[in-house]
């Protein structure tokens, strides 16, 4: 009897597990049915810990002068591995909302020369974000940035003195 | 004054980087005109009355807005009936419109917009693919789509809401790895890869429910020219390809949801009969021909042509009543006769000089008569040709046989799973033999696979009759997945034959057909199902009824020309120009001289040289694309050397798509929650005139 009762107790626990398992399976089943209705492609497993993504904002400060054109070289490095540029986004002012152009011949993994211009009349003055550069960086590394101004001009096509700097941003 | 000064500054210091931007600047007024024109055309069409469509400007979700300052014109399809089909999207709650008997499948690719600006014979084409997520969970969208095989794709921008992220050109394996990482970590990302010179894959990861992501591509290409007509083609769907048994790196044709059924590395999924997707297309082409446009034709689609103030320009808009992307869009325009002359256009850039030389055959060719001909017709009788395509091809061959003279000879070869032919050798074109040929031709039907290799062997391995000029005419849709193998075989066996390829159908494999003709020093013609087969064959006969100008040699008059493509100059046939593209250095001469043989004599043409600032963007890209195409052609029959490495180097330097490079764009500002979701492959309709049952693997 005891044995039976014991077995019976085990049986109850097993039954409970079965119910839980079936419920989970049923839920999973519903989930997989939901997904299975759409064509599914196998996705290779990737090591998420190897890299992460972040971005760097490029600012140009033209003081009181209008900024009609600019060209900047950005170099992003990390001691622990390679930094890769994976996208170039436009800036905040409408004049530079379109993403800047880059020179493919000068592009390496971590170095890019960016430029943009605007012939319109609505041009920024003071400090403005002109581009956002998206990066893939080693997971544990903190990248270093070097920004070099190549050229900047006002609406009359005259070279102007500006300052440039970069600020790293993290995903939200 | 102000803007002129700044432009000068820009040209002086930033021209290399602004190449694309300058073209945008050039094109913007034209494109704005095109948009306005399109609106007028649409209004006209709508006012003429169409019960199925409503017009109006509607609120669009932020995610799908192109930009704040762009004009918007949304023609909303009327929802006749709504339904939620749980079998397709359980719990998605997607609203679907049912029209007639067709069932709409909710898909992530909603719309494709095409804006083409044609200047002379160079086209700049902007393609925007609008993806959205109509489901309840996150998705990755994958779309296999065609572009012209000579398209130099050099711009890629991903738009999320009002934010635009320019894609970066990378080595393909590296771009794929970055994409996998970004997708896996939940970032919106897009990847564009090239599977064939005319087949591409677009992958867009982590599209959240209800959200939209647009992908914008820009490419340059040269237009084809034939007997006074320029031809602009925008392919809309990849035709179902046949792959020889045992192959795994082909392009498989499978039914919707049948991923993996073909065993090929690239697969196109096709909608089943009775299904349709909500994906539609809009297209506007603005033409500035440089000389007056005499006539404009589009036999493939319904279009509206907007009136222009000058006869050199035209604006053509695809009718929204003909917006299903199931066949190539082909626009032909004829320029004023007698005014198109050979010319050479050059452009100076920071990288050096580039040129394109368009050579027209001398008028004297038309006065000379031809030698006897040996015509070998090779007819594709595979399943994809069954029905209308094979009927068109047979009409064309019939017409050709009736053109032949008794001192000519001919042969008819058919191929599908195997090849067979009218007789062991070509036979003279006596009336009796022509009757026999016609009877044989009428007995042929389309079924089975496309073992094109068999057709090529049968056609090119004949012993050549030196008293006759041999032309091998392939009539096929080119729906094969082993393009490189076929081209390698043609190269190996071509001998003294010339190849004229005829692409038959609404969405042919133009890469294969063009390159067969190129290797065979012949020409290509396309026979849409709505074209007149007899007219196309008459033009072919006009061309081969006069001798060609052969063995072309160019005296560059002191200019240093290098890297000229195609490396082997084609022959000049009546009505068909030859375009050479290369690099140049040194002082530009006023003219270059082209010498060639015509029969037993030699003739020289003088070609004026001109410089063009407007071509400074397009020419380097077009040249680089031609260099890549030349390296790819060599790779079909050469095993030595690092051809992939050379292709990669050119593509990266010029920022171009190739088989070894890819565009990647990642939005790292926001990491979406959860895993990467479900991968949804965008199925497409089989091309018009092609039977699903005989071509698609279930």
Flag the least confident range among A100-114, B77-91, B200-214: B77-91
Question: Is the ipTM, as predicted for this complex, more than 0.85?
Answer: no
Domain final residue, candidates B640, B669, B692: B640
Mean pLDDT of A137-164: 94
CB contact under 8 A, A69 and B178: no
Residue B564's pLDDT band, with cuts at 50, 70 and 90, is very high
d(CA B226, CA B576): 5
Residues of chain B neighbouring A44 (CB-CB closer than 8 A): 180
Nearest CA of chain A to the CA of B17: how many Å? 5
Q: Is the pLDDT of residue B111 over 50?
A: yes
User: Taking 60 as the threshold, does the pLDDT of residue B187 lie above it?
Assistant: yes
Residue B425 lies in a domain: yes
Give strand pairing partners of B607. B592
Residues 6+ apart with CB under 8 A from B423: B411
Ranking A137-151, B72-86, B274-288, B627-641 by mean pLDDT, the lowest is B72-86
The per-residue DSSP string of B557-607 comes to TT-EEEEEESSSPPPBBTTB-EEEEEEEESPPPSEEEEEEEETTEEEEEEE
d(CA B235, CA B603): 39
Burial of B321 (0-12, 13-18, 19+ CB in 10 A): middle
Which residues does residue B113 pair with via DSSP β-bridges, in sequence order? B128, B282
Q: Which of B191-205, B300-314, B334-348, B552-566 has the lowest mean pLDDT?
A: B334-348
Q: Which of B511, B486, B487, B503 is nearest to B198 (CA)?
A: B511
Residues B258 and B380 in one domain: no
Share of residues in chain B with pLDDT > 90 (%): 59
Give the H/E segment covering residue B210. Answer: none
**Cα distances (angstroms) measured from residue A107 to each of A75, B168, B193, B514:** 10, 9, 19, 34
Assess B558–A contact: CB distance below 8 Å, yes or no: no
What is the per-residue pLDDT for B65?
25
Tell me which residue in A39, A116, A171 faces B669 most closely, judged by beta carbons: A171
Average pLDDT of the residues of chain B: 83
Answer yes or no: do B391 and B482 share one domain. Answer: yes
Residue B96 reports pLDDT greater than 80: no
The percent of residues above 70 in pLDDT, for chain B, comes to 85
Nearest CB among B8, B165, B259 relative to A88 is that of B165
Residue A14 phi/psi, 5-degree rounding, is -60, -40
> B83 pLDDT band (50/70/90 cuts)?
very low
pLDDT score at B169: 96
Whether residues B662 and B608 share a domain: the answer is no
Contact state of B13 with A90 under an 8 Å Cβ cutoff: no
Whether residues B621 and B673 fall in one domain? no
Q: Which residue is closest to A69 within chain B, CA to CA?
A: B10
pLDDT in tens, B115-162: 999 988 889 999 999 999 999 999 999 999 999 999 999 999 999 999
Nearest CA-CA distance, residue A10 and chain B, Å? 37
- Would you state the pLDDT for residue B533? 94
Segment B638-675, tens digit of pLDDT: 877 789 999 999 999 999 999 999 999 999 999 998 88
- What average pLDDT does the segment B213-226 reach? 93
Provide the pairing of β-strand B469-476 with B373-380: parallel
CATH code, domain with B425: 3.40.50.410
**Domain annotation covers residue B147:** yes
Examine the pLDDT at B488 and tell me if it is beyond 50.
yes
Give the model's confidence band at A70: pLDDT under 50 very low, under 70 low, under 90 confident, else very high: very high
Bridge partner residues of B105 (DSSP): B277
Domain assignment of residue B299, yes or no: yes
Same domain, B594 and B521: no
Q: What's residue B363's pLDDT?
A: 75
Question: Residue B76's pLDDT is what?
Answer: 24
The pLDDT of residue A84 is above 70? yes
- In sequence order, which ranges of B322-451 are alpha helices (DSSP H)? 388-403, 431-442
Q: Which among B158, B174, B666 is the nearest to A53, CB-wise? A: B666
pLDDT for res B342: 86
Asked whether the beta carbons of B663 and B226 are under 8 A apart, the reply is no
Residue B218 lies inside a defined structural domain of this protein: yes
Q: Is residue B653, in this structure, part of any structural domain at all?
A: no
Q: What is the pLDDT of residues B427-474, one digit of tens each?
A: 999 999 999 999 999 999 988 888 899 999 999 988 878 888 899 999
Residues of chain A neighbouring B5 (CB-CB closer than 8 A): 156-157
CA B251 to the chain's CA centroid: 17
Strand order, beta sheet including B313-318: A163-169, A51-61, A127-138, A84-89, B163-166, B152-160, B212-222, B122-132, B109-119, B280-288, B313-318, B303-306
Interface membership of B350 toward A (CB under 8 Å): no
pLDDT (0 to 100) of residue B365:
77
pLDDT tens, B57-78? 222 222 232 232 222 222 222 2
Task: Pick the residue from chain B with its C-alpha nearest to A41.
Answer: B679
The whole-number pLDDT of residue B290 equals 83
The sign of the CA dihedral B231, B237, B238, B240 is: negative
List the 89-148 stretch of A: residues with Cβ below 8 A of B. Answer: 89-90, 97-105, 107, 113-117, 119, 132, 134-136
Regarding predicted confidence, which is higher, B211 or A19? B211
Q: Say if residue B225 is in the same domain as residue B123.
A: yes
Q: Is B436 within a domain?
A: yes
**Residue B337 confidence (pLDDT):** 63
DSSP three-state, residue B548: coil
Beta carbons within 10 angstroms of residue B190's beta carbon: 33
Are A171 and B671 within 8 A, CB to CB? Answer: yes
Answer yes or no: do B676 and A43 touch at CB < 8 A.
Answer: yes
Q: Give the model's confidence band at B194: pLDDT under 50 very low, under 70 low, under 90 confident, else very high.
A: very high
Domains of chain B: total:
3
Quick count: other Cβ atoms within 10 Å of Cβ B11? 14
pLDDT classification of B338: cutoffs 50, 70, 90: low
Residue B250 lies in a domain: yes
Q: What is the mean pLDDT of residues A12-37?
A: 38
The DSSP call for residue B685 is P
Of A107, A117, A155, the CB nearest to B21: A117
- Same domain for B84 and B135, yes or no, is yes
pLDDT band, very low/low/confident/very high, at B350 (cuts 50, 70, 90): confident
User: d(Cα B196, Cα B456) in Å, to the nearest integer?
Assistant: 21
Determine the structural domain holding residue B107 and report its residue range.
Answer: 2-335+658-681
- Is B147 within 8 Å of B204 (Cβ atoms)? no
Question: B100 with B176, same domain?
Answer: yes
**Structural domain contains residue B176:** yes
What are the CB-based long-range contacts (under 8 Å, 24+) for B597-606?
B597/B549, B597/B550, B597/B551, B598/B362, B598/B364, B598/B365, B598/B368, B598/B547, B598/B548, B598/B549, B598/B550, B599/B368, B599/B547, B603/B362, B603/B364, B603/B549, B605/B342, B605/B359, B605/B362
State whether B130 and B241 are in the same domain: yes
Q: Spell out the CATH class of A51-169.
A: mainly beta
Would you call the peptide bond into B566 cis, given omega within 30 degrees of 0 as the criterion? yes
Q: Are B586 and B558 in contact (CB under 8 A)?
A: yes
A85 vs B: CB within 8 A: yes
* Contact status, residue B678 vs residue A35, Cβ threshold 8 Å: yes
Cβ-defined contact of B14 to A117 (cutoff 8 Å): yes
Least confident piece of the model among B78-82, B152-156, B263-267, B324-328: B78-82
- Rounded Cα distance, B586 and A30, in Å: 72
pLDDT at B567 over 80: yes
- The SS3 call for residue A53 is strand
Average pLDDT rounded to a whole number, residues A141-168: 94
Q: Does B648 touch chain A (CB under 8 A)?
A: no
Nearest chain B residue to A113 by CA distance is B17
Distance from C-alpha of B422 to C-alpha of B429, rounded to nearest angstrom: 13
Same domain for B280 and B154: yes
- Given a cut of 60, whether residue B86 has pLDDT beyond it is no
What is the structure's pLDDT at A2?
33
Verify that B328 and B416 share a domain, yes or no.
no
The reply to whether B328 and B196 lie within a common domain is yes
Give the predicted TM-score (pTM) of the model: 0.81
**C-alpha span between B677 and B137 (Å, rounded):** 7
Residue closest to B578 by CA, chosen among B609, B545, B555, B553: B553
Three-class secondary structure of residue B434 per DSSP: helix
Comparing B159 with B496, the larger pLDDT belongs to: B159
B13, B184, B678 member nearest A35 (Cβ): B678
């Amino acid at each position: 009897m005891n044995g039976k009762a014991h077995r019976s107790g085990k049986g109850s626990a097993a039954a409970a597990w079965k119910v839980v398992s079936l419920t989970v399976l049923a839920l999973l089943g519903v989930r997989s049915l939901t997904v299975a209705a759409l064509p599914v492609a196998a996705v290779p497993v990737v090591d998420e810990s190897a890299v992460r993504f972040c971005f760097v904002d490029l600012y140009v400060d033209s003081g009181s002068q209008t900024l009609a054109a600019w060209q900047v070289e950005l170099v992003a490095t990390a001691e622990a591995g390679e930094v890769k540029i994976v996208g170039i986004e436009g800036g905040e002012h409408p004049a530079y909302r379109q993403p800047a152009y880059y020179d493919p011949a000068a592009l390496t993994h971590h170095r890019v020369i960016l430029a943009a211009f605007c012939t319109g009349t609505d041009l920024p003055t003071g400090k403005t974000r002109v581009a956002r550069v998206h990066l893939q960086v080693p997971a544990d590394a903190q990248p270093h940035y070097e920004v070099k101004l190549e050229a900047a001009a006002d609406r009359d096509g005259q070279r102007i003195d500006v300052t440039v700097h970069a600020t790293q941003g993290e995903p939200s | 004054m102000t803007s002129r000064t700044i432009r000068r500054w820009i040209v002086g210091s930033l021209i290399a980087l602004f190449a694309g931007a300058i073209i945008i600047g050039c094109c913007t007024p034209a494109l704005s005109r095109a948009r306005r024109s399109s609106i007028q055309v649409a209004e006209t069409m709508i006012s003429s009355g169409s019960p199925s469509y409503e017009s109006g400007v509607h609120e669009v979700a932020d995610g799908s807005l192109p930009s704040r300052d762009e004009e918007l014109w949304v023609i909303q399809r009327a929802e006749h009936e709504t339904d939620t089909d749980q079998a397709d999207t359980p719990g998605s709650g997607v609203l679907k419109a049912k029209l007639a008997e067709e069932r709409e499948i909710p898909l992530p690719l909603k719309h494709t917009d095409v804006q083409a600006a044609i200047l002379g014979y160079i086209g700049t084409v902007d393609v925007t693919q609008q993806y959205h997520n109509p489901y309840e969970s996150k998705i990755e969208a994958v779309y296999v789509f065609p572009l012209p095989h000579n398209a130099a794709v050099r711009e890629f921008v991903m738009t999320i809401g009002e934010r635009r992220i320019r894609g970066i050109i990378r080595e393909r394996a590296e771009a794929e790895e970055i994409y996998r990482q970004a997708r896996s970590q939940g970032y919106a990302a897009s990847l564009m890869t090239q599977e064939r010179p005319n087949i591409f894959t677009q992958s867009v990861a982590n599209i959240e429910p209800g959200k939209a992501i647009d992908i914008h591509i820009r490419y340059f290409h040269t237009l084809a020219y034939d007997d006074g007509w320029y031809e602009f083609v925008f392919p809309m769907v990849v035709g179902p390809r046949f792959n020889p048994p045992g192959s795994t790196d082909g392009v498989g044709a499978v039914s919707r949801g049948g991923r993996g059924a073909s065993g090929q590395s690239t697969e196109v999924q096709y909608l089943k009969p009775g299904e349709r997707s909500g994906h539609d297309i809009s297209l506007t082409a603005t033409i500035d021909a440089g000389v007056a446009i005499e006539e404009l034709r589009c036999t493939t689609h319904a279009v509206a042509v907007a009136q222009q103030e000058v006869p050199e320009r035209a604006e053509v808009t695809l009718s929204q009543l003909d917006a299903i992307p199931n066949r190539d869009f082909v626009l032909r325009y004829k320029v004023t006769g007698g005014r198109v002359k050979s010319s050479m256009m050059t452009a100076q850039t920071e990288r050096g000089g580039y040129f394109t030389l368009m050579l027209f055959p001398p008028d004297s060719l038309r006065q000379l008569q031809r030698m006897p001909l040996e015509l070998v017709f090779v007819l594709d009788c595979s399943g994809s040709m069954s029905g209308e395509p094979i009927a068109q091809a047979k009409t064309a061959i019939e017409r050709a046989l009736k053109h032949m003279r008794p001192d000519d000879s001919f042969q008819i070869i058919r191929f599908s799973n195997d090849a067979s032919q009218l007789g062991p050798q070509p036979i003279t074109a006596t009336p009796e033999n022509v009757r026999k040929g016609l009877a044989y031709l009428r007995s042929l039907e389309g079924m089975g696979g496309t073992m094109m290799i068999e057709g090529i062997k049968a056609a090119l391995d004949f012993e050549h009759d030196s008293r006759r000029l041999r032309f091998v005419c392939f009539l096929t849709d080119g729906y094969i997945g082993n393009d490189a193998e076929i081209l390698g075989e043609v190269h190996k066996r071509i001998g003294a034959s010339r190849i004229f390829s005829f692409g038959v159908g609404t969405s042919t494999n133009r890469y294969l057909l063009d390159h067969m003709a190129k290797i065979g020093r012949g020409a290509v013609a396309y026979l849409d199902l709505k074209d007149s087969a007899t007219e196309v064959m008459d033009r072919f006969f006009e061309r081969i009824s006069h001798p060609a100008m052969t063995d072309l040699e160019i005296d560059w008059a002191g200019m240093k020309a290098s890297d000229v493509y195609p490396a082997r100059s084609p022959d000049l046939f009546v009505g068909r120009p030859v375009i050479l593209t290369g690099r140049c250095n040194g002082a530009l001469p006023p003219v270059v001289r082209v010498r060639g043989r015509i029969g037993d004599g030699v003739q020289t043409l003088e070609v004026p040289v001109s410089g063009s600032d407007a071509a400074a963007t397009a020419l380097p890209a077009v040249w680089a694309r031609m260099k890549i195409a030349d390296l790819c052609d060599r790779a079909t029959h050469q095993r030595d050397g690092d051809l992939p490495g050379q292709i990669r180097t050119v593509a990266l330097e010029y920022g171009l798509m190739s088989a070894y490079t890819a565009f990647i764009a990642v939005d790292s500002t926001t990491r979406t929650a959860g895993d990467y979701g479900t991968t949804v492959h965008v199925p497409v309709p089989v091309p018009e005139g092609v039977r699903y049952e005989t071509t698609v693997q279930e």
